[in-house]
C-alpha cells in the first residue's frame, strides 16, 4: 500500500489544550489581534492613532487545520485587512456551529461534515472559503494498524474493531460512506468504537482495537512510530477527482449578506496566511505549535500532509463529492435533493 506520509521530525507526544501558551489570553483559549475590545457582529473599534478596525470574533480548533488563523493573527494579516480579530478555541466544529447560531461568535472553522449536517437541517450558515482539502496527493488521515497485525488490506477489516474519534464526525462519515463501501463492507461488518485521538495509539498497541482512524497530528505521530504501527491505507486512493473539503470558513448567512466586506477581508487575510505557511513552514509550525500546545517539529511534519486552499472560487465539485459520501454514510437520505450550492458563497460577491 502506498504511503505518502512525511516522516521527518522526531516522534513526540502532542497535547491539545484550551489555553494558548505564550500569548495574551482574554478568557479561556481566546486571542485578540488588537488591544481594543470586541463585540460579535462586525462592529468597529478605533485604536488610538489608527483607522477604525472591524471587530470579529472567530472560532478555531486546537488543531493544525487552524494554522491559517493562528498565523494570520500572529503575523498581522488580519490587522492589515482592517480587522480586529479575537480567536476563540472550541473542541469541535459542531460546537462552533452552535456558537455561530447563538451569536456569540461571528464565524469560524467548521468541518465539512458538521456544515452539511447543519445546513441540511435549515440552519443559516454559509461557507465563504474552503480552508483545507483532502486530495489525491497528501492526507492528514489514515487507517492504521499494529505493526504485527494480520490485516493487510481494508477488506480485512471485516469482523474487527475499528475506532473513530466521535460518531457523526468527518472521520465517521468517511468510514461509513467511503472507506468500508470501497471494499464491499458496511458498518454491520465491523465493530465501530469511539475513542479520542490522543488515546488511539495506546489502545491499538494494547490490542483493545484492531484499527484506528486518527487525524493529524496523531496520524503523523503513529506513522513515525514504525516499531509499533503501520499504515493499512493512507486513503488518498479513495479521494475522488475534485477532492473532498476538509474544513471551511463559515459564518451566518445573515451576517454575510449584511456585511460582505467582512468576509472579503477575512478571506484575503487567510489567503495571505496560507501563502506565508507555504513559504515559511518552520515559522508557521512554531506559531501553530505554541497556539495548540504541540511540538513545532511535529506540527511542521503535519503541515506537509495538509493541502490548504486560499482560492476564493469555491470547489463545487468537491462539495458534490462530499454530499455523495454523506448520502452513502446515512448523514443525508439516499434520495435527498440537497444541493451544496445553497451554502457556498464567494467572499467578494453578495
User: Are 227 and 147 spatial neighbours (Cβ–Cβ below 8 Å)?
Assistant: yes
pLDDT score for 85: 93
Tens digit of pLDDT for each residue in 268-325? 999 999 999 999 999 999 999 999 888 999 999 889 888 887 666 677 888 888 888 8
Q: From CA 72, how far away is CA 164, in angstroms rounded?
A: 31
pLDDT score for 35: 35
pLDDT above 70 (res 90): yes
Tens digit of pLDDT for each residue in 97-149? 999 999 999 999 988 888 888 888 888 888 887 878 787 777 888 999 999 99
Q: Which residues, at least 6 apart from 184, have a Cβ–Cβ distance to it below 8 Å?
A: 155
> Which H/E stretch holds residue 78?
helix 77-80
Tens digit of pLDDT for each residue in 1-43? 333 323 322 222 222 222 232 233 233 345 555 433 333 445 5
pTM: 0.77
Identify which has the larger pLDDT, 190 or 52: 190
Tell me the H-state helices in 182-308: 197-205, 218-224, 253-258, 260-279, 281-292, 296-303
Of the candidates 145, 137, 119, 118, the residue with the CA atom closest to the CA atom of residue 226:
145
pLDDT above 90 (res 332): no
Confidence of residue 191 (pLDDT cuts 50, 70, 90): very high
Please, what are the domains in the chain? Answer: 30-136+242-342 (3.40.190.10), 143-238 (3.40.190.10)
Identify which has the larger pLDDT, 343 or 283: 283
Tally Cβ neighbours within 10 Å of residue 7. Answer: 12
pLDDT score for 183: 95
Tens digit of pLDDT for each residue in 215-247? 888 899 999 999 999 999 999 888 888 878 888
Q: From CA 71, how far away is CA 81, in angstroms rounded?
A: 14
**Dihedrals phi, psi of 19, to nearest 5 degrees:** -80, 140
pLDDT score for 135: 76
**Dihedrals phi, psi of 176, to nearest 5 degrees:** -75, -35
pLDDT score for 321: 87
Amino acid at each position: 500500500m502506498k504511503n505518502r506520509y512525511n516522516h521527518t521530525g522526531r516522534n513526540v507526544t502532542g497535547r491539545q489544550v484550551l489555553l494558548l501558551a505564550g500569548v495574551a489570553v482574554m478568557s479561556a483559549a481566546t486571542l485578540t489581534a488588537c488591544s481594543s475590545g470586541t463585540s460579535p457582529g462586525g462592529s468597529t473599534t478605533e485604536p488610538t492613532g489608527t483607522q477604525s478596525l472591524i471587530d470579529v470574533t472567530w472560532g478555531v480548533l486546537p488543531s493544525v487545520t487552524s494554522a491559517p488563523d493562528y498565523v494570520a493573527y500572529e503575523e498581522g494579516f488580519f490587522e492589515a485587512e482592517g480587522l480586529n480579530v479575537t480567536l476563540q478555541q472550541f473542541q469541535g466544529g459542531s460546537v462552533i456551529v452552535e456558537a455561530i447560531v447563538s451569536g456569540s461568535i461571528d464565524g469560524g472553522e467548521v468541518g465539512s461534515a458538521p456544515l452539511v449536517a447543519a445546513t441540511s437541517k435549515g440552519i443559516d450558515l454559509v461557507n465563504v472559503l474552503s480552508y483545507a482539502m483532502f486530495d489525491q496527493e497528501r492526507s492528514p488521515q489514515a487507517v492504521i494498524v499494529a505493526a504485527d497485525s494480520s490485516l493487510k488490506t481494508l477488506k480485512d477489516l471485516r469482523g474487527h474493531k475499528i475506532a473513530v474519534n466521535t460518531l457523526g464526525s468527518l472521520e465517521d462519515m468517511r468510514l461509513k460512506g467511503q472507506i468500508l463501501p470501497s471494499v464491499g463492507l458496511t458498518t454491520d461488518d465491523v465493530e465501530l468504537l469511539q475513542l479520542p485521538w490522543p488515546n488511539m495509539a495506546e489502545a491499538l498497541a494494547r490490542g483493545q482495537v484492531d484499527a484506528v482512524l486518527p487525524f493529524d497530528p496523531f496520524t503523523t505521530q503513529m506513522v513515525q512510530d514504525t516499531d509499533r504501527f503501520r499504515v493499512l491505507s493512507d486513503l488518498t486512493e479513495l479521494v475522488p477527482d475534485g477532492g473532498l473539503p476538509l474544513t471551511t470558513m463559515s459564518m451566518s448567512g445573515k451576517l454575510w449578506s449584511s456585511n460582505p466586506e467582512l468576509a472579503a477581508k477575512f478571506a484575503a487575510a487567510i489567503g495571505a496566511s496560507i501563502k506565508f505557511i507555504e513559504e515559511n513552514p518552520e515559522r508557521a509550525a512554531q506559531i501553530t505549535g505554541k497556539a495548540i500546545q504541540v511540538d513545532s517539529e511535529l506540527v511542521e511534519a503535519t503541515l506537509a500532509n495538509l493541502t490548504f486552499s486560499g482560492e476564493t472560487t469555491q470547489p463545487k465539485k468537491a462539495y458534490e463529492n462530499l454530499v455523495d459520501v454523506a448520502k452513502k454514510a446515512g448523514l443525508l437520505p439516499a434520495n435527498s435533493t440537497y444541493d451544496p450550492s445553497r451554502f457556498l458563497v464567494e467572499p467578494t460577491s453578495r
